[in-house]
Structure formats: structure tokens, C-alpha cells
Structure 1
Amino acid sequence: MPSARTPDGVDHRRLRRLAAVVTSLSALIATSIVAGPATASEATLSCALGRTDAHHSEGVDTWNDAYPRPRGTLDAVMIFLSFPDSRPVTDVGELSRDYFPETSRFFDRASYGKFRLRPHVHKKWIRMPHPSSSYGIQRDWVDGKRSAYLRDAVAAADPSIDFSRYDIVYFVADPDAPGVDSDATKVVNLEQPMRADNADLRRFVTVFEQSPPDRNVLAHETGHVFDLPDLYHRPQDNKGNWDTYVGDWDLMGSQFGLAPDPFGWHKWKLGWLTDKQIDCAGLTRHALHTLRPLSAPMEPGDERRPRLLVVRTGPGSALVMEVRDASGNDRSVCREGLLVYRVRNETASGSGPVQVIDGHPGTSACRGTSVHPPLADAPLGVGESLRDREDGVRVEVTGRTAAGDWTVKLTRG
């Protein structure tokens, strides 16, 4: 179908595929994973919001054990599926290079080297028993057909794959098969797991991308495997702007964003930032806070240098500040500076659990490359300030230190 481009040149038809969040597979697949037992995370600070029953809750006080936590090394298997109605025209090795090693590098940079995603690419096509057109692959998939697709994929791969060896399973469909719809890429969570190789299989990343795929699409979907929410805004009838909540900031909003590095709040949630790097701020007239840029490499002594400034504004909400600059995953960022956003722990994935506060509400930037130009220049520069109308907090960037850190002053009113 024709490309649906905005006047700014952003292809939102392709962005919409991310909005196909988890649907049910009859009694097998649930739209939200059943909450696992709570285990204490590193977050013990007063500004750490509690985890709630919201799907992919932004609470950071506990970790949901239903999801693997991305610290140390996790092993992922990438399995390529072919169909009787189409002979693959591309080698699986070539297709795998669409995703790796770049996805692993993205997480290595985002986690400061604390997490390694180790891919294992199965070198041969796995033949599905039925034509691609028989599965009805599409964005909002019919329950029974999607269930059949997953059952067939596991059964076809099981003789060649020891599923018990892997933490993550990627099923990649032949991009040239006639029944493959690229809008259908998503993570599927199982309420009742499938069983293979004495392992419970609770979650699959189903990939239906063309080659080359959308930028950072696999990192976005893998973020869901780690309990991160969708941060985009899905408008009614799928019409309108999808990126009004966070714009280019954090790939869980848009994998096309100019600044796709995860928010510092997400790095805290995942364990890549520790409590020692979080500044829980009170509101006084004279206190200054110093922040290390979020993407700066971890150096000796950095474990005690704050990268996240948090003001608890209510039982389920917080105002968060971090410095974003043109390095690491954010090397293409439109505007550097202090980014301010609000987090709510009771707001579900896709409904705005994080919302960026625009430091320059009267202007836009990077038209033609930004997914949402009004928020592309949201960060504050030195000497600039904003007042959050909802909570009455004034944020002012007062300067830079010789070491490259940023100084911030917070006041009430």
C-alpha cells in the first residue's frame, strides 16, 4: 500500500506496526503477562515508584520475575521460518546481519556493558507445514491462526533447536513469503506456556520485517521481553500522531527516533543504574544538583555520580531529569541538554506512562528527520528553565562543571 508520510517526511504507516501490542490466542495467549512474584530490586530510595498491576508498570521498587532481567549474559536464538508457498531468495546469514550484531551493540551501549545479548543464529531455514497465506498474518491477528502459527513453529524447530538453552526466542519469517505482513511484528506473551525440551516457553518475538528491517525494531521488541512498555500514543482508528508522548526520546516510543537510548528511568528499572546514581531531590531554594550525562561511559568513581534526578510528586508519579547528549545510542540527537519527563506507575503500556515535558513549547526542530519535531528540542540548555504546571516545580540549568557535568536547581512555585 502507499506510504503514509507526514509533511515532515516521517513514514508513520511503518511506525504503526509497533502499536500491535499483545493480543490473545484463545485461552492460550493473554494481552498482559500474569504478574510474577516480586523480588527486591536495587531501588530502595524514597523516590522509587512501586510496581503496580498495570501492564509493564513503570514501578522500580521490585522486579517481575515473569520476565528475564537483562544483566550479565542472556542467550537468544534466532530461527528463520520458510513456507511451502515461497522459496527463500536470501540466505539466513545475510538476513541475520539485519539484526546482529547491531542489536547487541545497542544494549551494550545502553547498559554500560552490564548486559550482553548473545545471539545464536540457526543457520538453516526451518520449513513450516502450511503456506504463509494460511496463517492470516496481520497486525491484529485472529487468535486461532496465530496460535496455530506458534504451535507449528515450535514443532518444526524442535528437532533442530534445544529451546532449554535460550532465554529469548526470535521467530523470523521469510520476508518474501506472500502471506507475511510486516505490520505484524510483535512480542507474544503466553498465559499458559508451551512445553519443549523440558522448558516452559512463555514468550516469543515474532518478526515479519522486510529486508532491511525498520531501524532498531528488534531492540524495541526485545525491550518488551524485559518488561518495558510502549511509550507511543496510539490514536483512535489508528489516525493521527503516534509520537506525542515522548517524541524521539527512548526507542520504546519510536524505533525511528533520533535519541533512542532508553530513558534513565528504564536503565534504573533494568538495573543498569544503581541507587547510588539516583539523586532523590527535595525542593529548596539553594540546593544545586549535579548530573553526569546519561550516555557517558562508566569510568572509575562514576558509581556514585548521579545520572538521574528524581522528584517524587505523588504516590504514583515522579518528575525525572537527565542529560542527553550526542554520544552513544544518541549520536544523532537533535538537541542536547537537560530532558524533563513525568513517570506514572499506574499507567499501562501504550497509554502514556512516560510523558516528556517540552522545555521550548513554542518551537520545533529537526523537521524531516524527527518523528515529532515539537519535542525534538525539548531539553533545556544552560541558563534555561521551565515550570511544570502540574506540580509547580521549577527546573533551571545553572551551568556546566569542568568535568562536563550539568548543574540543576529545583524550586517549588
Structure 2
Amino acid sequence: MANAHSLGGVSRIPLPEVDLPRPQPLGGVDKPRLRTVAAALTALTALAATGLVAGPAVAAPYAGPCALERTPAHHSEGLDTWNAAYPRPRRTLDAVMVFLSFPDSRPLTTPAELTADYFPATSRFFDRASYGKFHLVPHPQREWIEMPQDSTSYAIQRDWNAANRSAYLRDALKAADAHTDFSKYDIVYFVADPDAPGVDSDATKVVNFDRPMRADGTDIRRIVTVFEQHPPDRNVLAHETGHVFDLPDLYHRPSDGKGDWDTYVGDWDVMGSQFGLAPDFFGWHKWKLGWLDPRQVACVTRTGVTRLTLEPLSTAPRAAGAPFGTGGGTKLAVVRTGPSSAVALEARGAGGNDSATCTQGVLAYRIRSDSSSGGGPVQVLDAHPDSEACYGDSVYPPLADAPVGLGESFTVPGEKIRIEAEDRTASGAWTVKVTTG
């Protein structure tokens, strides 16, 4: 499904955290005003950089023996500290959508129509995933901003030449600066005219700079470049925005570009596939992003039998007047297996962002904090390796039936860990027996 993956973060070298502006109310285009862009060309030469460094850390919010240490790996899955090069999605963040047209193509759609392709769907995805702890507020511009060069001159493609990509971003920021006060926003989306002849829908990416570009007295450290068709791929902006929050690509890119892309995690996280039947973020990612409280994470450290009750990952904390305990219990269990590895367990079922799933149960997956984005930092463990499910709907049917079902047991390959899904509670939680050692 190579054509299904217009994904990918090309961010390379993390940068210091910026002072984020206070949230602004939802609005449209800023009144045009002439300003200059203070963007050094050296900031653009680093777009194709491949060296990786660990970004600066902030105070460790995740105590406990199961919080794997963050490593220099690109988008490391370690969560003992937060990488301060990235904004933390634990409050309201404001995103500007800048719509770019080209001299060689008259747009066939409008900014309003393209905005509706992505919002409110993307905001609702994050509202559900974060249990209301994070709000993404879009600020779409109302008019097209024309680029100085034809769309074909930038040679836009998935594996983009660094010089052409630099020219595109330099021109886009300069053109947009006369219409946009970038100091108001935490996230920048550059949305290209989807019908321009030079636009490649497989080129949507996040671009980070080793040295930030500057406009309106603020550092711009990353830009989401959107080259989708109209309508776009489902959940594509949720995936790309996940990179803005330091989440890795979880799909496997075949060396020849052919074959299955979804062999690592299948349908089970939007960072693996934006088309997944159950694309909610893994519990590990929700812990990393601060959406799970420490009390909702169980660290299995003792040898022998541990029994747990796991609330479905998609169940939101109880509202006022709801039955006690609904949605606020344990959502993630972790068994550490090495200095940079762990096995995680969570209950997945049809609800929230996972409403289209065709299977349910206790999902187990392996985490490696020393594996880089795209290198398999998370791999789902298949409790039914000899069968498939959801053929025709799943992005990777062999993993669609990966969860441990009610009454079933599963031994993690290569580990002394056995998982049994013993029962369900009246509220829908799963009682799980974990045997280690």
C-alpha cells in the first residue's frame, strides 16, 4: 500500500523549546501588512541533515522503573524526560493554515473547502485521544497566497531534493509573511493547491530546521507541508501533527518501496497508518504526551502473577454524574524487559477513535527507546500468528486479530511473560493475569 502512505517526518535535529504564545480565539486571516522575513539561508541548508542529537530535556514527569530513558534516537520512545525541542500537547495550541497557490494553476477549490477536509475532524481526533486534555485550534486563512514560482519548478516529491525543498519553504514563508502574524501560532501548516500540476500527494511531511527560520520576531522551528489531494487521506493531519509532538513513524518502509508498509503495528496507531481501523494513539504515546496520569499506568516489576484491571484505552474519564470508575482506571500496563525495552499491554475495543475496529481484546506490543523513527520502535505482538482478520478493511490483516481475546492466553516470544485475558467487568474493563519469570 505504498500509495497509502503520504506520511513521514523529515525532521532531523531537535532544537530548544520556544516560548509559546497564549491561546488566541478562533479566527481567520490576519489583516495584510508588510513585514520582512528574517530567515537565514543557513537554516534551510539543514533540511536534509541526517545527524541526530538528543534534544534538551525538561524535568522528568514520568517517574517509575518502567519509564524507559529517552535516547539520541530520532523521536525516541523514551519518556523519562520530555524533549524540550517540541511543544507539549497538554493545553490549547493554535495552528495557522496557510493556503498556497501557484502561477501555473488556478485553484479549483477554496481555502474554506480545504479547511473542512481537515477540521474539525483533526481537532476531534485529538480531543478524544487526549481525553480532553489537549485542544488543537485551527486558524485557517481565507484567501490563497500565490507563490512566486510555478508549482513544477519546485520538483515536489516524497524524497524531496533539499535545494528544491529549501526554495519552496523560503518562498512560502516570504509570501505568507505579509499576511500572517506567525508570533500568534504554535503550529504552522502550509497547504498547497491540491490541483496544481507540480504537487505530489505523497510529499506531505513535517520539516524541522537545525536553525529556526524567523518571522514576526518568533522562531519557526518546524513546518507541516501539506500536499494532499482533495479530499485528503483520512487522518493524515493527525499523523503529521503527531510528529510535531515528537512521535515517530511506526510504519515499515520497504527498501524498494514495494510490499507491506504496516508490518510493525498494523491498524493500531495513527503513527503507523492513517487509514487504520483502530488509529488511536498507543497507551505508551498517551503516557509520553501527558494524557495518562501516573496512577493509570501499572508497572509490573515482581516475578510471578500480577492481576490487573485494564479500562479500554478509548474510554474517557467519567463525566459528572457518571458511574464511579468509568474511564479513569488503569489503561496501560508495562513490563520492562531491558535497559531500553519493554512490553506494554492495553485494552482495545470499539469506541472513540477506535470505533471502526473489527476485533477487541488485550493488545500487547514491544517498545524500544533506542530505535529511531521508521526503524520499528514499536512492534505489535500477534496473539494469533496463524490467522488474519478484517480482510479488505484492515491495512494489514495479519495483525488485525493481534489482541488476546476473552479466555485466551499468550506467551510473548523471547520473554518470560504470559498474558491471560480472564474476564470482563460490568463496565467493560478487562481483568488480565500477567505471569513473569
TM-score, L = length of structure 1: 0.94
CA distance in 1, matches of 2:51, 2:233: 25
2:386 counterpart residue number:
362
* 1:290 equivalenced with 2:309 (yes/no): yes
CA distance in 1, matches of 2:247, 2:300: 25
1:401 is displaced (CA, Å) by 1.8
1:23 is displaced (CA, Å) by 7.3
1:214 is displaced (CA, Å) by 0.3
CA distance in 2, matches of 1:338, 1:301: 19
Partner-residue secondary structure (3-state), 1:288? strand
1:377 counterpart residue number:
401
From 311, 317, 322, the counterpart of 2:346: 322
Contact 2:317-2:328 within 8 A present in 1 as well: no
From 419, 423, 436, the counterpart of 1:395: 419
2:17 counterpart residue number:
none
CA distance in 1, matches of 2:49, 2:295: 37
For 1:243-262, what aligned pairs fall within 5 Å after superposition? 243-262=262-281
2:135 counterpart residue number:
116
Partner-residue secondary structure (3-state), 2:98? strand
Output one character per residue of 1:24-58: Cα deviation in whole Å (capped at 9) or x when no partner.
Answer: 95335534775332112421011110100000000
2:428 counterpart residue number:
404
CA distance in 2, matches of 1:76, 1:31: 27
1:64 counterpart residue number:
83
* 1:178 equivalenced with 2:197 (yes/no): yes
Contact 1:173-1:208 within 8 A present in 2 as well: yes
CA distance in 1, matches of 2:12, 2:152: 20
Partner-residue secondary structure (3-state), 2:420? strand
2:229 counterpart residue number:
210
* 1:14 equivalenced with 2:3 (yes/no): yes
* 1:231 equivalenced with 2:255 (yes/no): no
* 1:343 equivalenced with 2:367 (yes/no): yes
CA distance in 2, matches of 1:28, 1:186: 12
Letter of the structure 1 residue corresponding to residue 249 of structure 2: D
1:276 is displaced (CA, Å) by 0.9
Output one character per residue of 1:339-373: Cα deviation in whole Å (capped at 9) or x when no partner.
Answer: 00000000000000000000111110010010100
CA distance in 1, matches of 2:277, 2:47: 37
1:189 counterpart residue number:
208
Partner-residue secondary structure (3-state), 2:271? coil
Partner-residue secondary structure (3-state), 2:99? strand
Alpha-carbon distance change, 27 to 326 in structure 1, aligned in 2, over 3 angstroms = closer
Letter of the structure 2 residue corresponding to residue 397 of structure 1: A
CA distance in 2, matches of 1:115, 1:68: 12
Alpha-carbon distance change, 272 to 23 in structure 1, aligned in 2, over 3 angstroms = closer
CA distance in 2, matches of 1:286, 1:262: 28
1:115 is displaced (CA, Å) by 0.3
Letter of the structure 2 residue corresponding to residue 196 of structure 1: A
Contact 2:344-2:367 within 8 A present in 1 as well: yes
CA distance in 2, matches of 1:187, 1:399: 43
For 1:22-61, what aligned pairs fall within 5 Å after superposition? 22=11, 25-28=44-47, 30-31=49-50, 35-61=54-80
Partner-residue secondary structure (3-state), 2:45? coil
1:17 is displaced (CA, Å) by 2.5
CA distance in 1, matches of 2:137, 2:51: 26
Contact 1:22-1:32 within 8 A present in 2 as well: no
* 1:139 equivalenced with 2:158 (yes/no): yes
Letter of the structure 1 residue corresponding to residue 63 of structure 2: T
Contact 2:9-2:243 within 8 A present in 1 as well: no
1:237 is displaced (CA, Å) by 1.3
Partner-residue secondary structure (3-state), 2:384? coil
CA distance in 1, matches of 2:244, 2:51: 12
Q: Which runs of 5+ in 2 are unaligned?
A: 14-43, 319-323
Output one character per residue of 1:134-158: Cα deviation in whole Å (capped at 9) or x when no partner.
Answer: 0110111111111010010000010
Contact 1:258-1:330 within 8 A present in 2 as well: yes
For 1:84-99, what aligned pairs fall within 5 Å after superposition? 84-99=103-118
CA distance in 1, matches of 2:328, 2:140: 39
Report the identity percentage: 65
Letter of the structure 2 residue corresponding to residue 308 of structure 1: L
Alpha-carbon distance change, 205 to 20 in structure 1, aligned in 2, over 3 angstroms = closer
CA distance in 1, matches of 2:11, 2:419: 38
CA distance in 1, matches of 2:95, 2:5: 26
Contact 1:20-1:139 within 8 A present in 2 as well: no
Output one character per residue of 1:78-125: Cα deviation in whole Å (capped at 9) or x when no partner.
Answer: 000000000111111011100001000000000000000000000000
Count, aligned residues: 402
1:162 counterpart residue number:
181
CA distance in 2, matches of 1:271, 1:225: 15
Alpha-carbon distance change, 349 to 202 in structure 1, aligned in 2, over 3 angstroms = same
CA distance in 2, matches of 1:36, 1:90: 40
CA distance in 2, matches of 1:380, 1:213: 34
1:278 counterpart residue number:
297
Letter of the structure 2 residue corresponding to residue 142 of structure 1: N
Q: Which runs of 5+ in 1 are unaligned?
A: 1-11
Alpha-carbon distance change, 231 to 153 in structure 1, aligned in 2, over 3 angstroms = same
Partner-residue secondary structure (3-state), 1:47? coil
Name the Cα RMSD after superposition. 1.6
Alpha-carbon distance change, 159 to 371 in structure 1, aligned in 2, over 3 angstroms = same
1:64 is displaced (CA, Å) by 0.6
Contact 2:9-2:206 within 8 A present in 1 as well: no
